[in-house]
Chain A
Amino acid sequence: MHFTTPPYLVKKTSVQSVMLQVLAALLPGIAAYVWIFGPMILLQIAIATVAALAGEAFILKLRDKPLKLFLSDGSAIVTAWLIALAFPPLAPWWLIVVGTLIAIIVAKHLYGGLGQNPFNPAMIAFAVCIVSFPALMSQWPPVDLQASLGDQMRLVFGLLPRLDAMSGATPLDALKTALKVSEGTTTVSSVLADASTFGHLAGKGWEWVMAGYLLGGLWLWQRKIITWHAPTGFIAGIALLAGALWLWQPAAFATPLFHLFSGGVMLGAFFIVTDPVSGCTTPKGKLIFGFAAGALAYLIRVFGGYPDGVAFAVLLLNICVPLIDMYTQPPIFGKKGTQ
């Protein structure tokens, strides 16, 4: 007769609904972003989304896959939004497009498409672009940017020359540079006292965006889209290392709280290391994966040459996923204590 196979009852759920919930969870962070830095991020999100869907459609066509089914699953849009949020908001439009196409075509589809990519596509985009275009990827607007919305738009579309006044560094970069330049004569607290760059916890304004991501992440956890393991591990990895060094030399190292609310930590904790496809799957594995990524991100951002280390840390840990998963298989029903 006509129907398929047991179970005949299935839960109302889909890849699309999972992806839509992830997008919804990004909204508080985006709202804070818009509130503090203006609506340019929305333009970047739109550019990335269009590029992602176009790239996805192109490669699906090449691969002879059903267009409608895969374009509507929402996964490409999630990648696009994460890329837009990770890139500088005034980056030229083509930079976002290049990053997104690399993520969708190379990092995702060349490895087999949805569910098959060993590396996080958004992080691949970030890594490729920061290696290829380091200057453009490090220009972050100050909170009190004086340019009009029109000028900002012209900047994005390359109709205005990129002036130094319009771009600065991230708070993380500012701290690192200040400490480096002074060669031990300044302390962290004196650098952070500069109210034009730094706020209560971390970078001025950025701390609120981070709080927005945290809120969205907690909602995802409450919705059981993600589990607590990877974010907790990630945050613990950063907090433990940062805390230890801060206790040792408070003048040379910023507080753990500063680090947690700077750069890509919250976005990474709840939206990047929780990516099920490229991350670990066992509870213990997720903890290890998160912790190691966090620790590595801290080491890269503090001792390495890049302003932030989340992307590289996550990509390096992506490689370790099969190994971690293999060694952290949980005991099964009836075989606890024997394995």
Chain B
Amino acid sequence: MLQQLFKFKGGVKPQTSKTSSLHEPIGQAPLPARLIVPLHQSIGGTPNPLVEAGEHVLKGQLIGGADGWISSAVHAPTSGTVLAIEEHIAAHPSGLSTLSVIIEPDGRDEWIERTPLDYRTLPPERVREILRDAGVVGLGGAVFPSHAKLTASKTVPMDELVINGAECEPFITCDDLLMRERAEDVIRGVAIFRDLLMPKRVLIGIEDNKPEAVAALEKAVQALGENFEVIAVPTRYPAGGAKQLIRVLTGKEVPAAKRSTDLGVQCFNVATAYTAYRAVAHGEPVISRIVTLTGNVEHPRNWEVLIGTPLREFIQLGKPKNDTNGYLMGGPMMGFEMPSLDAPLVKATNCIIAASPTLFPQPPPEMPCIRCGACAEACPHELQPFEMYWFAHAKNFGKTQEYNIFDCIECGCCSYVCPSHIPLVQYFRFAKSEIWARERDKKASDLAKARFEFRNLRDEREKAEKAERLAKAAAAKAVEKKAAPVDSGAALATSPDAPVNADVAKKATIAAAIERARVQRETAEPKNTDGLTIAQRKEIAEIEARRAPLLASEQTAPNAETQRTQSTDT
């Protein structure tokens, strides 16, 4: 192999624990009794529900439409009936709920009409739209909408397309088996990405502990007559981090503040390439994915699982052992504990690990940092974790930023090697969220301050205007008096009229201004009526209909003064 490999600094070599789930081919998970499909399954906007409770849906039917460009569609994983669209516990460590479509399968698994397309006949814009509407997102775990990554930089030529088959986290084998069993479809998906980005080279990086996957992809590349380079990279966590793999294959280091396309390189996961191909060439949206079920189970194995399958049903496939005390989603380095067995598997779910006290023992008690620097040696982003810890611990968040806390990818290498057993990553997450919260607060207070100052300014201006008008009126009166001292009766009759007219005019202009402001505000600010279910929207429509006549009668008798006080209160 002529490819020269580069090294990234740091990294660790935990036990990989991958073999147990590799004995059997990918299995087809049975239809669960109920599917819980969260609408928000990608980075970016939350798709709007497009179905209602009681509606019958087909397999692959769009149930949530992409909301904006950085967003991705969601589909019914099988045919059946929508039971509800409601908040349901999500696959997230917080245990918070998210708006989800609950579907009861009808068992027929009836597809929508699928239209296979030859993407080469389509304009690139259309291909990106197809990918968005098929819900193709990064399946390596980040679930970033793929179509949004498929535009090359306008100024920097696209040098390399990096395809990530490294799979560096221990226990996870779903990409390995995908590459072994569905190599040609993976390569065809890579070809779509290649044709959209037009890079000079395509590099497929796979950790060298997966020789079968390397061989399968090499064979597929040859069979399809492509010139992609399949490269075995040294096994060292986190070699599968996008930035680390880009570094190893191209020597380029993508800083935190830049997009990789700014350096002429883009990176996709192998499973993403696979789903892109299925979406374009077979018209199949992303409704299932391959999930490794391993750890403290009798039958570790990879399963092709419908998105939305509840964890409770999925784990039965592996027969968890009795001492299982929890389930991790993702790998043991960056994964998290599932908050509940009711949480569904989602597009980001690459692995479920049954945990037990023997598999993941409680770490020994936390000791003070002795500044040994093991974390700095292990950090793949060459940060000084112990310094960031010191300042995060002291809540000196400005200093953590000086030590580049936002370059931290939370890979966990520092915590892994720490002899004092300090949960460093947690400290960094805490610091990051505190910084975000403070920035939000600052923005809000800045806005409030600006509003307050504007209001003061306006009040003063109005006062000044009023004073000016009164002065003018007084002056006019004086002039009138001087000009017609005899005709004082007429002057008395007309003079009180002038201010009254001025008052009416002023009220009218204020009312107009308030109306303009209201219209502006309504167009600028997101409404709290966004992202409601269809049922809720119907209800609102009904209420509005009832209110319409009342509003009309109110508007016939406008009261500028009360409206003004109302608007200044907001």
**A contact residues vs B (CB 8 Å cutoff):** 1-11, 13-15, 17-18, 66, 69, 73, 75, 113-116, 224, 227, 276-277, 281-282, 329-336
From A2, A7, A227, A329, give the contact of B333 (CB < 8 A): A7
In this complex, which of A3, A281, A329 has the most chain B Cβ atoms within 10 angstroms of its Cβ?
A: A3
CB distance A114 to B367 under 8 Å?
yes
CB distance B382 to A333 under 8 Å?
yes
**Chain A residues with Cβ under 8 A from B77's Cβ?**
none
Those of B362-385 within 8 Å (CB) of chain A: 362-365, 367-374, 376-377, 380-384
**Chain B residues with Cβ under 8 A from A227's Cβ?**
373
A5–B355 Cα distance when bound, in Å, is 13
With A15-B370, A18-B372, A332-B407 known as contacts, the answer to whether A10 contacts B381 (CB < 8 A) is no
A293–B504 Cα distance when bound, in Å, is 85
A101–B332 Cα distance when bound, in Å, is 44
- Chain A, Cβ-Cβ closest to B374: A13
How far is the CB of A79 from the nearest CB of chain B, in Å? 13
- Chain B, Cβ-Cβ closest to A338: B255
> What are 7 A-B contacts defined by CB distance under 8 Å?
A3-B355, A4-B423, A6-B334, A8-B360, A9-B416, A13-B419, A18-B372
- Chain A, Cβ-Cβ closest to B404: A332
Those of B504-527 within 8 Å (CB) of chain A: none
How far is the CB of B400 from the nearest CB of chain A, in Å? 13
**Chain A residues with Cβ under 8 A from B364's Cβ?**
14
How far is the CB of A287 from the nearest CB of chain B, in Å? 14
A136–B266 Cα distance when bound, in Å, is 70
CB distance A281 to B373 under 8 Å?
yes
**Chain A residues with Cβ under 8 A from B328's Cβ?**
8
Q: Is the CB of B78 closer than 8 A to any CB of chain A?
A: no
A334–B326 Cα distance when bound, in Å, is 37
**Chain A residues with Cβ under 8 A from B426's Cβ?**
5
CB distance B423 to A5 under 8 Å?
yes
From A10, A66, A115, give the contact of B369 (CB < 8 A): A115
A331–B383 Cα distance when bound, in Å, is 8
**Chain B residues with Cβ under 8 A from A6's Cβ?**
332-336, 412, 415, 425
Q: Is the CB of B253 closer than 8 A to any CB of chain A?
A: yes
Q: Is the CB of B278 closer than 8 A to any CB of chain A?
A: no
From B360, B380, B384, give the contact of A282 (CB < 8 A): B384
Q: Is the CB of B299 closer than 8 A to any CB of chain A?
A: no
How far is the CB of B266 from the nearest CB of chain A, in Å? 16
From B14, B170, B325, give the contact of A3 (CB < 8 A): B325
**Chain A residues with Cβ under 8 A from B326's Cβ?**
1-3
With A5-B426, A277-B370 known as contacts, the answer to whether A11 contacts B417 (CB < 8 A) is yes
**Chain B residues with Cβ under 8 A from A3's Cβ?**
325-326, 337, 355, 360, 362
**Chain A residues with Cβ under 8 A from B319's Cβ?**
none
In this complex, which of A3, A9, A114 has the most chain B Cβ atoms within 10 angstroms of its Cβ?
A: A9
CB distance A8 to B419 under 8 Å?
no
Q: What 10 additional pairs, Cβ within 8 angstroms, besides A18-B370, A333-B253?
A: A2-B325, A6-B333, A8-B328, A8-B332, A281-B386, A330-B384, A333-B8, A334-B256, A335-B255, A335-B404
CB distance B407 to A333 under 8 Å?
yes
**Chain B residues with Cβ under 8 A from A14's Cβ?**
364, 367, 419-421
Q: Mark B157-180, 1 if CB is under 8 A from A, else 0.
A: 000000000000010000000000
**Chain B residues with Cβ under 8 A from A114's Cβ?**
367-368, 370
**Chain A residues with Cβ under 8 A from B9's Cβ?**
333
**Chain A residues with Cβ under 8 A from B416's Cβ?**
7, 9-11
- Count B-side interface residues using an 8 Å CB cutoff: 59
CB distance B335 to A8 under 8 Å?
yes
CB distance A5 to B256 under 8 Å?
no
**Chain B residues with Cβ under 8 A from A224's Cβ?**
377
**Chain A residues with Cβ under 8 A from B12's Cβ?**
11
CB distance A7 to B420 under 8 Å?
no
Which secondary structure dominates where chain A touches chain B?
A: loop
Q: List the 8 closest pairs (A to B, CB-CB), nearest first.
A: A334-B255, A7-B412, A115-B368, A333-B381, A334-B253, A8-B360, A8-B332, A1-B326
In this complex, which of A13, A75, A116 has the most chain B Cβ atoms within 10 angstroms of its Cβ?
A: A13
**B contact residues vs A (CB 8 Å cutoff):** 8-9, 12, 14-15, 170, 243, 247, 253-256, 258, 325-326, 328, 332-337, 355, 360, 362-365, 367-374, 376-377, 380-384, 386-387, 403-404, 407, 412, 415-421, 423, 425-426
Which secondary structure dominates where chain B touches chain A?
A: loop
**Chain B residues with Cβ under 8 A from A281's Cβ?**
371, 373, 376, 384, 386-387
In this complex, which of A2, A116, A331 has the most chain B Cβ atoms within 10 angstroms of its Cβ?
A: A2
**Chain B residues with Cβ under 8 A from A17's Cβ?**
419
- Chain A, Cβ-Cβ closest to B426: A5
- Chain A, Cβ-Cβ closest to B263: A334
CB distance A15 to B419 under 8 Å?
yes
A334–B12 Cα distance when bound, in Å, is 20
**Chain B residues with Cβ under 8 A from A8's Cβ?**
328, 332-333, 335, 355, 360
- Chain A, Cβ-Cβ closest to B247: A333
From B170, B254, B384, B425, give the contact of A334 (CB < 8 A): B254
**Chain B residues with Cβ under 8 A from A75's Cβ?**
370
In this complex, which of A8, A73, A227 has the most chain B Cβ atoms within 10 angstroms of its Cβ?
A: A8
From A7, A15, A116, A333, give the contact of B415 (CB < 8 A): A7
CB distance B417 to A13 under 8 Å?
yes
- Chain B, Cβ-Cβ closest to A69: B365
From A1, A7, A332, give the contact of B381 (CB < 8 A): A332
A131–B412 Cα distance when bound, in Å, is 47
A8–B9 Cα distance when bound, in Å, is 22
**Chain B residues with Cβ under 8 A from A331's Cβ?**
382
**Chain B residues with Cβ under 8 A from A13's Cβ?**
374, 417-419
- Chain B, Cβ-Cβ closest to A2: B325
- Chain B, Cβ-Cβ closest to A17: B419
A276–B372 Cα distance when bound, in Å, is 5
From B334, B367, B377, B403, give the contact of A15 (CB < 8 A): B367
- Chain B, Cβ-Cβ closest to A112: B368
- Chain B, Cβ-Cβ closest to A337: B253
A6–B178 Cα distance when bound, in Å, is 26
A277–B8 Cα distance when bound, in Å, is 27
**Chain A residues with Cβ under 8 A from B421's Cβ?**
10, 14
In this complex, which of A73, A114, A335 has the most chain B Cβ atoms within 10 angstroms of its Cβ?
A: A335
- Chain B, Cβ-Cβ closest to A325: B387
CB distance B371 to A277 under 8 Å?
yes
- Chain A, Cβ-Cβ closest to B376: A281
**Chain A residues with Cβ under 8 A from B336's Cβ?**
6
CB distance A7 to B253 under 8 Å?
no
From B14, B373, B418, give the contact of A276 (CB < 8 A): B373
A282–B382 Cα distance when bound, in Å, is 11
**Chain B residues with Cβ under 8 A from A10's Cβ?**
363, 415-416, 418, 421
- Chain B, Cβ-Cβ closest to A225: B372
A227–B8 Cα distance when bound, in Å, is 19
**Chain A residues with Cβ under 8 A from B334's Cβ?**
6-7
From A9, A11, A15, A18, give the contact of B332 (CB < 8 A): A9
With A3-B355, A15-B367, A333-B381 known as contacts, the answer to whether A9 contacts B325 (CB < 8 A) is no
**Chain A residues with Cβ under 8 A from B255's Cβ?**
333-335
CB distance B425 to A7 under 8 Å?
yes
A59–B415 Cα distance when bound, in Å, is 29
A73–B372 Cα distance when bound, in Å, is 14
- Chain A, Cβ-Cβ closest to B365: A69
CB distance A73 to B367 under 8 Å?
yes
A282–B326 Cα distance when bound, in Å, is 40
How far is the CB of B489 from the nearest CB of chain A, in Å? 85
